[in-house]
Amino acid sequence: MLRQASILILAIILFSPLVHAKMTAQNLGKREKVRYAIDNGILSVYDIPFDTFVKLEMWDEIRFVLEANNRNMIRHTFSGLYYSRPYQVDDTIWVFKNAADDRGTIHVFDSETLDLITELKNKTYSKYDGGVRKIHGDIVISGSSDQDVDTAVIWHTRTNEIQTIKLEFGHYVSSIEVDGDRLYIGSCGEAINTWNHETQEFVRTYSADRDATKDWNKKECINKIKIIDNRLIGVGEKTVFIWDIRSGKLLETYAKILPNAIVTFYENDMAEYKNGRFVIRNLTHGEVIARGRAEKPIEDLIITSEKILADHDGKLLILALRHNRGLLFYDFSSLELLKRINTSGETLMAYKNAIFATDDRNLYKYDVANKDSERYSKFVESIRPEDLVLDEEGYYELLKRLQGYPEIIERSGIAREFMISKKLKRHHSFKYGKIGERLVSPKGNANGEKYKEDVYGYKAFYEVKNLSRDYYLVMLASEWSGEYGKHVSENGNAWDVEASSRRGSGHQVFFIQPYGSKYKNHFDLGEKEPVNFLIYPIKIETVSESYYQNFTKALNGRTSDREMIDRYLRDPLVEPWHDQLRQKKKELDQDKDEKGFWPFR
C-alpha cells in the first residue's frame, strides 16, 4: 500500500505541469505534498528528480542530498605518524600520540567540527604511557610502557597531578577498568589487581590460581575487564575467567571461540574478532548468539546504539576493515549487512549519531545516516540542462546550494545559461610555463646554502565579453582539482585563492563595460594540470553608467569629492575596493594638510 502511494505521488509530480517561473499556488501545494511524503517515509529524497526540486524551489532538499553524499566527512590530519583510537570525553574527542617523540600527548578536538581545542602534555605521564589506556572523567590511566611494564600511571588532567601504582601480583599491565570506587588492572598472570580508586589503597587480587607456577610466560594475560551483576569478567588470550566480585572466588572459565582474538564489550555482550571472523557471546549466560565473517581482515569492531543509519533502529555492529578498506554496518540482531562505505579509518568510536575513526595520521568524522552512493549517482545522472529554466533569483538560490560542487554546476548548465541571459560570453585556456621560484638545498647536502629554482606549472587565462548595453559588476568563482594556485594581480585585480592539496578555488570581482567590451585576467593553478576546471558567475549586478564612471574617478584619484568617496565606502557592492578607497581618501586629507589654509592668495 505504501509503495502504491509513493508511485502515485511521484506520477502526479512528474506528469502534471509545473510552472517554471514564480511559484504558483498550485506549485506551492505540490511542494507541500512532496515534503509530506518525504517526511513520512512515503518517498525518499532520492525519488525526486533534480529538475522537480528546482521547479518547486526545494532548495533545502537539494542541499541535503549533496551534503549527505559529499560533505559527510570531516578530517583532521596530524603533523606526524602513529595515533591512538578516538575517545569521547564530555563533548570532545581525545586522541593520544603513540610515537616515541611526545608520546602520550593528548589532542583534544571539538566533536562537531574537529577543530583542535588544545593539547594536554605531562612529561612524567609520557614515561609510563603505554598501549593500555582508560579514561575516567578527567583522569587518564595508562600502563605497559617500556619504562616500567609493571606500573600504571594516573594523570589528573585538570590538576596535572601524577600518581603511579605497581602491580601487586602478576607481570605486565595488560588491561585497565574503573567501576564505582574500584580500579581494576589486569596482568599477565591470569590475575586482576584491585585498588580503591580514590585513595589508591590496595584491596585484593583476583587470581585464576590454576597452578602454582610463577612463570608469567606460561599464563594468560587479562586483556579485557568487565563487571556484570557482581561478577568480574577477565578475558585472556584463550580463556574467559569469571570471579565473584565480593568473595574473589573463581566461579567458572570457558574457552574463547577464537583463540588470540581481540575482544570488545557492549552492555552484556562480548564480541571476539580475528582476521575476517567475528563471534558475539552474551555474558549473562555465556552462550554464543551470533557468528559472522567479513570478506577482508577486521581491524576494529564496535557495537553501538547510536542512530548511525537513518533507516535503522536498534544496535549496530560496525567493522573497520584492515588497510583502510572501508566500514561494514550490520544489524546486531540478525547480522544482516545494511551498508558498506569505502572510506578510511581503522579504529572506531560512535558518538552523537556519527562515526569517529583514526588511522596512522588522520582523525575522521563520518555522518553516514543519509549517504547512498548508488542512488546519489542516479540522482546526479537525472540532471538535464534542457529541463532547467531559472530566473535570476532562482539562479542565485540554486547556486548557493551548488557552490563547492563544480561537477554539478557544469552538468546542470545553469552558469552557462545565466551568462547567456545577460549577453555575456566567457572562454578560458591553460598555458604551461614559469609560475614562480622556490629555495632548495643542494643535492646531498641539506645544510648547504640554498639557491633559487624556477617552478613551472599551469596558468589559467580567461576572457569575458559583454555584448549587452548594460554596465555590470561581475563576481566570478573558479574551482578545479589538481593543485592550488596563488594570488595573481593584474591591473590591481587579484584572485583570492584557497589552498588545498586536492582542490583549488578562488573568486574575483570586476566591472565590465557594454557594447562588446572585454575583460581579461589570469592566475596560477599549480604544478599539476587541473581537472574539472570551472569558472562561473556568483553575482552579476547591473549598474548605471554614472555609477561606474564616478566609481572609477573615486578609485583612480581623479576627484577631490570626499562625499563621493564616502558614498562608495558605504556601498557593500564595491566592498572589495573599500581599502583602496580609504587610501585615496587618506591621500586627499594629506594633500589638504600640506596645502594648509591661507585666505589671501
Q: What are the cell numbers at 178? A: 574503573
Report the chain (601 residues): mean pLDDT per 10 consecutive residues: 46 46 82 93 91 94 91 89 95 93 91 96 92 94 90 96 93 95 95 95 89 71 96 97 96 96 96 96 92 94 95 94 93 94 92 95 92 88 87 92 86 93 95 89 74 90 97 93 42 45 76 97 86 90 97 89 93 95 88 52 35
Determine the pLDDT at residue 492: 39
Q: What's residue 8's pLDDT?
A: 47
Which pLDDT does position 595 carry in this prediction?
Answer: 53
Res 500: pLDDT: 46
pLDDT at 494: 47
Q: Which cell numbers in the block locate residue 501?
A: 592539496
Residue 369 Cα to chain centre, angstroms? 14
Assign residue 515 a region: left if phi > 0, alpha if psi is -120 to 50, beta otherwise? left
Q: What string of DSSP letters covers 549-570?
A: HHHHHHHTT----HHHHHHHHT
Sign of CA dihedral 157, 161, 164, 165: negative
Give the strand order in the sheet containing 87-89: 87-89, 92-96, 106-110, 116-120
Domain boundaries, the chain: 2-71, 268-370, 390-543, 547-595
CA atoms within 13 A on the CB side of 113: 4
- pLDDT computed for residue 503 by the predictor: 65
- List, in order, residues 6 or more apart from 133 with CB less than 8 Å away: 84, 87, 96, 140, 141, 142, 176
Out of 2.130.10.10, 3.40.640.10, 3.20.20.30, 1.10.10.1590, the CATH code matching 268-370 is 2.130.10.10
Cα separation of 207 and 249, whole Å? 8
